[in-house]
Structure 1
Amino acid sequence: MALKTVIGLALALGWLAADVAQADGINAGGRRVSAVQPFNAQTVAEFDTPWAIAFLPDGRMLITEKPGRIYIVTQSGQKTEIGNVPAVAARGQNGLLDIAISPTFATTSQVYISYTEPSTEGSRLVLTRAVLSLANDRAMLSEPTVIWRQTPAGGGGQPGGIIAFDPAGTHLFLTVGDRMQPTSAQDPRQARGKVLRLNLDGATPSDNPMAEDKGVRAQTWTTGHRNPYGLAFAPDGRLWLHEMGPRGGDELNLIEPGKNYGWPLVSNGDNYDGTPIPRHATRPDLTAPPLYWDPVIAPAGLAFYDGALFPQWKGSALIGGLRAHALVRVAFRGDGQPDEAERWDMGERIRDVAVAPDGAVWIIEDDSPGRLKRLTPAK
């Protein structure tokens, strides 16, 4: 064999090995909890199955409860229920889900909420924009407008429903789970198993990957997701998503336009009935997670830390663990590769994580009552 051919073959095999290694990613599933917690956890309030936290500019919080209530909450724990919340289909994993403050909140007082609404064809995931009206110690949602609705309706749990805005504040991203209909995640006619990119009014941006098409295709940013309960932009402007795998294989993915992340064609886990699913390495045409967990942590909630109270966490991702009963910190190497850096046992299922304007970290428990806790540096 000619020397040039041998060298070429060696290079090709090297590239193949590199591709396989990338497809395998880092498995952090077996990591142990850290022996020391670098924070004090103060319980501030309790809720009925809380789901999401969003901070107002003045430091107060909006907190959703899955059965269909939203509260304004002060940092001392005083709660004010918000009126005129849309009716939700609250059952199992479904109900009132995420809440997010509009990038234009300072001038419009608008907020966005996601939820599953009742329907004769089965529940639908819905995204609504409304004005948060505050007057005389009362609060309500006014001018509610549905700007996106799942079509066709129906499906089980795994709704997704996480809302994120790009750093410029001009576009909205929404995760849609597969609603327990796995094959729908690869159906371009359905929103299930997709990340959607919309204008702030729900219209389709002209620069989406398939913007020339209509309907779901035009709205789709990425494809092939199972149960995405975390979506956030990092300080460097990159968009990250985590999603729950089946029996094994929770994923943290870098979200890039037009990519297919593989579900249910590939996974680092297997079906609940024990039947195997091909691994990511078998399909290099599909985007593999750089970090995954097997055994699973059941990730929920995702926030990037850019505050002052925990300077050692700058740039890290904070993730709640439902199955792991933990708060997980993911750090990023210089080349962008994520890896679990620390895991703290919180004793309960952690549903959401948020960072306050003062740099404190807030978490909520997935329980009834579920506690809202403030984490500050241990002294």
Structure 2
Amino acid sequence: MLWSLASGAPAQNPPELQAQTVASGLQHPWAVAFLPGGRFLVTERPGRLRVVDADGRVQPPLHGLPDIAAGGQGGLLDVITDAAFERNRTIYFCFSQPGPGATNGTALARARLSDDLTGLQELRVIFSQQPKVASTLHFGCRIVERRVDGRPDGTLWLTLGERFSRRDDAQRLDNHLGKIVRVGKDGHVPADNPLVGRPGALPEIWSHGHRNVQGAALAPDGALWTHEHGPMGGDEINRPLPGGNHGWPRVSFGLHYDGSPVGDGASGGAGLVAPLHHWTPSIAPSGMVFLSSDRYGPAWRGNLFVGALKHRQLLRIELKDGQVVAQHPLLQALGQRIRDVRQGPDGWLYVLTDSPSGQLLRLVEKR
């Protein structure tokens, strides 16, 4: 089935597009990665990982996953393939890991995808968020493979939520709540992480003062960009700086859900890294990618694409000198929560809709 896309104001004759259904019947799909031969790897939040064939057939859940604390916002969340997947068949995924009692936390694992695409082998958890918390909210959980001069450097960034009930811990450096961490692919702490050797600070931490980061992507220059959910308003786009304090919960452009101010009501402060952009009211962003292909014409190359859960759309964001200069809503006609957006090896954009019967869609030119 095909739907026409609703776009914003035209910019340099944007293409007329269609959303083409690749697969359907996915239960709350959270992330998509790309496999050789036109196949896909899709996570379902309730705790299942599936291969989707090039023709759209959804395969049975893979075996070999760890125990997952699925519930609320937790479950099996992001997944990526290693840059050298065709040689090593390695994938990385993050999930809500059970802890003592009713506690849990975000964890990052690596595994080998079996040759027959039916299960995971050599599973190893390489990072576990500490402390574990009794909460089903704010897991964060986006993974980005770091590159230097265009080449993978052997490390991964992982975004971590502050678990909602522990927001003040986002300002402390002795825990992983409300942080972005950087670890090696085997779990080691890189020697050049910004807080290595700082007394009282966990060496995995890359940046802190985050709320619930559900979008992360490499910019064309190799820098890490993220977005995060604000409270009532104040969703942010950030460029997380090494050792940077991004403010939560000292400052925000939003309000707490009871209408009270965040901190003293300020939106910024000395020593805090300001967001590149904020959405107030909230759009509830999830998923993020910079378009590097020319599939949609040169005007869209380099644009940032962000999914929106609350606003049920995909945003095409034009940038100039690292700042947002225009936004164009797409996919409004679907009326679906957009959980993830990725660029495929074929240059097309792919999105996941978040529902009990979610879909994997490909955005193609209308013919």
So what's the TM-score if we normalise by structure 1?
A: 0.87
- Match of residue 62 from structure 1: 41
Cα shift at 1:35: 6.7
Q: Does 1:40 align with 2:18?
A: yes
Cα shift at 1:95: 0.6
Alignment of 1:288-367 (within 5 A): 288-311=274-297, 312-333=299-320, 335-344=321-330, 345=332, 346-367=334-355
The one of 74, 93, 99 equivalent to 1:94 is 74
Q: Which secondary structure does the structure 2 equivalent of 1:368 belong to?
A: coil
- Match of residue 144 from structure 2: 164
Cα shift at 1:128: 0.7
In 1, the alpha carbon distance for the partners of 2:120 and 2:67 equals: 13
- Match of residue 113 from structure 2: 132
Q: Does 1:184 align with 2:169?
A: yes
Cα shift at 1:98: 0.5
Cα shift at 1:133: 0.7
Question: Where do 4+ consecutive residues of structure 1 move more than 6 Å?
Answer: none
Q: Which secondary structure does the structure 2 equivalent of 1:263 belong to?
A: coil
- Match of residue 3 from structure 2: none
The Cα offsets for residues 128-186 of structure 1, whole Å up to 9 and x where unpaired, read as: 11001122xx4210010010112211142110111001123121000000011210111
Cα shift at 1:119: 2.1
User: Aligned in 2, Cα 1:342/1:124: closer, same or farther, shift over 3 Å?
Assistant: same
In 2, the alpha carbon distance for the partners of 1:359 and 1:97 equals: 24
Cα shift at 1:214: 7.8
Q: Which secondary structure does the structure 2 equivalent of 1:134 belong to?
A: coil
Indicate the structure with greater helix content: 1
Cα shift at 1:289: 0.8
Q: Does 1:112 align with 2:92?
A: yes
| Cα RMSD for the two superposed structures | 1.8
User: Aligned in 2, Cα 1:48/1:269: closer, same or farther, shift over 3 Å?
Assistant: same
Return the letter of the residue paired with 1:305.
L
The one of 70, 74, 84 equivalent to 2:53 is 74
Q: Does 1:211 align with 2:199?
A: no
User: Aligned in 2, Cα 1:357/1:226: closer, same or farther, shift over 3 Å?
Assistant: same
User: Aligned in 2, Cα 1:378/1:132: closer, same or farther, shift over 3 Å?
Assistant: same
Return the letter of the residue paired with 2:16.
P
In 2, the alpha carbon distance for the partners of 1:124 and 1:190 equals: 12
Cα shift at 1:72: 1.1
Number of residue pairs aligned between Structure 1 and Structure 2: 345
Cα shift at 1:38: 3.0
Computing the radius of gyration from Cα coordinates, the structure with the larger value is 1
Cα shift at 1:220: 0.6
Cα shift at 1:281: 4.7
Give percent identity, aligned residues only: 39
User: Aligned in 2, Cα 1:360/1:199: closer, same or farther, shift over 3 Å?
Assistant: same
The Cα offsets for residues 298-318 of structure 1, whole Å up to 9 and x where unpaired, read as: 000011111131122111111
Return the letter of the residue paired with 1:48.
Q
Do 2:252 and 2:268's aligned partners in 1 also have CA atoms closer than 8 Å? no
Return the letter of the residue paired with 1:361.
L
The Cα offsets for residues 247-276 of structure 1, whole Å up to 9 and x where unpaired, read as: 000000112211110000000000001111
Cα shift at 1:33: 6.3
User: Aligned in 2, Cα 1:242/1:213: closer, same or farther, shift over 3 Å?
Assistant: same
- Match of residue 373 from structure 1: 361
In 2, the alpha carbon distance for the partners of 1:315 and 1:292 equals: 20
Return the letter of the residue paired with 1:179.
R
In 1, the alpha carbon distance for the partners of 2:9 and 2:220 equals: 29
User: Aligned in 2, Cα 1:215/1:79: closer, same or farther, shift over 3 Å?
Assistant: farther
The Cα offsets for residues 198-223 of structure 1, whole Å up to 9 and x where unpaired, read as: 11111000001111248962111101
Q: Which moved more, 1:189-198 or 1:83-92?
A: 83-92
Do 2:253 and 2:267's aligned partners in 1 also have CA atoms closer than 8 Å? no
In 2, the alpha carbon distance for the partners of 1:282 and 1:327 equals: 28
Q: Which secondary structure does the structure 1 equivalent of 2:120 belong to?
A: strand
In 2, the alpha carbon distance for the partners of 1:59 and 1:331 equals: 29
In 2, the alpha carbon distance for the partners of 1:297 and 1:202 equals: 34
The one of 237, 259, 265 equivalent to 2:250 is 265
- Match of residue 273 from structure 2: 287
Cα shift at 1:377: 1.7
In 2, the alpha carbon distance for the partners of 1:104 and 1:362 equals: 21
Gaps of 5+ in 2: 1-5
In 2, the alpha carbon distance for the partners of 1:143 and 1:186 equals: 36
The one of 197, 206, 227 equivalent to 2:212 is 227
Cα shift at 1:103: 2.4
